[in-house]
Amino acid sequence: MSNATIALHQVEFEQKSFWRNPAAAFFAFLFPIIFLVVFATLFKGSRAQVGPVTVSYDDYYIPALVAFGVMGACFTNIAMSISLRRDNGILKRLRGTPLPSWAFIAGVVGSSIIVSIVLTLLTTLFGILVYGIHTPQHILAAVVTVAVGGLVFCALGLAMTIVIPNADAGPAIVNGVFLPIVFISGTFFPVPDTSVLAKIAEVFPVRHFIDAMFMAFDPARQSSSGFNGTDLLIMAAWGAGAVVACVLRFRWEPTKG
């Protein structure tokens, strides 16, 4: 069997495991949709100041929520499921088979990207059909941003398992890191550029992902291409750091004692 076929089989396996697990599917899908409905209802009719432009709240919120969904499908999902599989010995067992590590990682990442794409389409369609947002202006930029964001947050999810001692601690650590950053990064309402929170958030990749997504949707028609190079570069830097951390420290075996 060729290497590409092995990797594709892994993607297929991960997809089956994901869709057959109601809890995983629930968190990945219902969370963003519930947030969408709740916050869109809460801020109904209000305007959002995003950098130099003012748009409807929904026009800000939908791209932000696309980013949120991708982060959930990639970062949270991978950090939790990999630390769980490490704990119960599934990873160790795989490590003893001829399956190459890269093929396993490709399966996990590929599957998360597929979920991200489905989520992106679903959230965007929901936004257009139910909340009447402007249709995304720059499709290429949107695709590239979702792809970069997906890969970066997959890498960060894998790197996150390094600091998770065991699966029981997984949810607390992952959410303890993820949710505060998600909040200060302006996922649910824009955080003004000049505020202290924004300055802190700028260090992390979440705000840049949301910015890049907003720029690709570009409801105010302020960009010609929809690309924001700085945002993508900062995200990529975080991704590269995560990859290096994984190469150095990723564990396949449970920590005991």
Residue ranges binding another protein (CB under 8 A): 1, 5-6, 9, 13, 16-17, 20-21, 85, 88-90, 92-93, 95-100, 253, 256-257
Amino acid at position 240, single letter:
A
Q: Whole-number minimum distance, CB 96 to another protein, in Å?
A: 4
CA distance 227 to 145: 8
State which residue, 45 or 98, has the beta carbon closest to another protein. 98
Q: Whole-number minimum distance, CB 254 to another protein, in Å?
A: 9
State which residue, 44 or 93, has the beta carbon closest to another protein. 93
CA distance 55 to 65: 15
Q: Whole-number minimum distance, CB 120 to another protein, in Å?
A: 24
Q: Whole-number minimum distance, CB 58 to another protein, in Å?
A: 36
State which residue, 221 or 256, has the beta carbon closest to another protein. 256
Q: What are the distances in angstroms from CA 213 to CA 66, 139, 223, 241?
A: 8, 11, 12, 22
Tokens of 60: 């800000």
Dihedral Cα 206, 210, 213, 218, nearest 10 deg? -160
Q: Whole-number minimum distance, CB 17 to another protein, in Å?
A: 4
Within a 13 Å sphere around the CA of 2, how many CA atoms are in the beta-carbon half? 3
CA distance 93 to 107: 16
Cα-Cα-Cα-Cα dihedral sign, residues 9, 76, 231, 227: positive
Tokens of 39: 């916050």
State which residue, 52 or 98, has the beta carbon closest to another protein. 98
State which residue, 47 or 95, has the beta carbon closest to another protein. 95
Q: Whole-number minimum distance, CB 143 to another protein, in Å?
A: 30
Tokens of 79: 């950090």
State which residue, 24 or 67, has the beta carbon closest to another protein. 24
Strand-pair partners of 47: 56
